[in-house]
Structure 1
């Protein structure tokens, strides 16, 4: 049975982490399959938006500890990071399509940080986020030390990473870690509505916005202003810009193509 399920529907690529018996924790096979699935979504022109979620009770518990404690399976931490998690994070941030993390349950360790690397994070009201690394003597990875301080501030991120506190969906929302959380009964419906909204938007402009946000992490003001100018010119030369302006003038709904 595949550890990653891809279902493409209505212009949305739904990626489901599918090892529910181990709370969707990653082993090498699953990590490599996740990379290939993200590549498939990136290259498929019918996919306008991507949703990542988990099967069963958990979103993702991070690394499968059986893999790192069984000598014949142990790939080594450098290999795990450089060949498993880092390429996943890099794909999430560089794919020119909006990516939603739909956190349906516990997101711990690398699982939490994969979610936080996505463009928009929403959660089930029963979900939780845990920087679990310190509990077993490890440091945060999968870009957690990059994104979390920028989302919630240095002091809060430092405390969560050192103490390994469990953060509820409501707490995550209130501290700015995630965009929204939904009641369990409405979660799947709300995720689909959000993804459909994104898929019908001018996704080329969203891709350019994503590039700007990535660079804003390292650019100074002058560099960011210059990049905004360049990408605004590119956006204004697109089909979607012309369609959006014409639709506004003609008082109709625009039909964007992501071009």
Structure 2
């Protein structure tokens, strides 16, 4: 794909308007500076690509992502302003997933640790393998981070249990906690996520973009203000070609053809 010709930490495949983005950073799919620079670029490009309507994010092999590459940390202390630049890049690497206009389905195929756990949690929908687990191990290494992201998906008690103890939460536990929407054997996790992506891709593209925007903007708004914003989105969509095509196809009892406008 144009703009993504020379990736070192990822592989991209696009089928039926669904982009499958696979982390390929052996041996444990850790997140270093190159990883973060590439993921920001990838989500900027895929977010603007009209042929992509949903994105599946997974890891190569049996690990989703083991988190931050801690070998980079000592150098940050020697570099004036190093930690500030590093933290800004880390935030951007998560924000690009949350802010991408296309829904992101995390297919958690294995361990998702620390920053790997957060990367899964900032996705829109979480599909997890039975063999997988998520954990926040910052307290084991004298670090801090991820609390706010964990609180978005876990109950207050479970969030604190996870952060304070670095407990491994299994796929089955995460499904029981309603953190994950689907829990299946590892060999099915990507296919399940892709099936969800394909279903999303069949909907009115601009309506999906509007829905994701609404989730992002209304999360902390009062109910009345949030719903008023959503109504403004519906009014704007009514003037688009794809919404008119969806209504016409419904009346004519045929499958709609969307153009993304």
TM-score in terms of structure 1 length = 0.90
Q: Tell me how far 1:59 sits from its aligned partner.
A: 0.5
Asked if structure 1 preserves the Cα contact closer than 8 Å seen for 2:106 and 2:193, the reply is no
Aligned to 2:19: 13
Aligned to 1:148: 150
Secondary structure (helix, strand or coil) at the match of 2:20 reads strand
Aligned to 2:235: 233
* Between 41-50 and 160-169, the greater mean CA deviation after superposition: 41-50
Cα shift readout 1:150-177 (whole Å, capped 9, x = no counterpart): 3222222112111111001111111011
1:3 to 5, 9, 12: 9
Aligned to 1:122: 127
Cα shift readout 1:33-78 (whole Å, capped 9, x = no counterpart): 1111111211222111111111111101110112224679979433
**5+ long unaligned stretches in structure 1:** none
2:85 to 79, 83, 88: 79
CA–CA distance in structure 1, aligned partners of residues 55 and 199 of structure 2: 12
Aligned to 2:3: none
CA–CA distance in structure 2, aligned partners of residues 162 and 248 of structure 1: 52
Aligned to 1:133: 138
* Between 67-76 and 218-227, the greater mean CA deviation after superposition: 67-76
TM-score in terms of structure 2 length = 0.89
Aligned to 2:108: 103
Cα shift readout 1:207-249 (whole Å, capped 9, x = no counterpart): 1111111122221223212211211111222223222222222
CA–CA distance in structure 1, aligned partners of residues 172 and 258 of structure 2: 34
Aligned to 2:164: 162
Q: CA 1:122/1:222 → structure 2, altered by over 3 Å: closer, same or farther? A: same
CA–CA distance in structure 1, aligned partners of residues 142 and 126 of structure 2: 27
Asked if structure 1 preserves the Cα contact closer than 8 Å seen for 2:50 and 2:260, the reply is no
Equivalences, count? 254
1:41 to 35, 42, 46: 46
Aligned to 2:117: 112
The equivalences for 1:51-90 within 5 A come to: 51-69=56-74, 76-83=82-89, 85-90=90-95
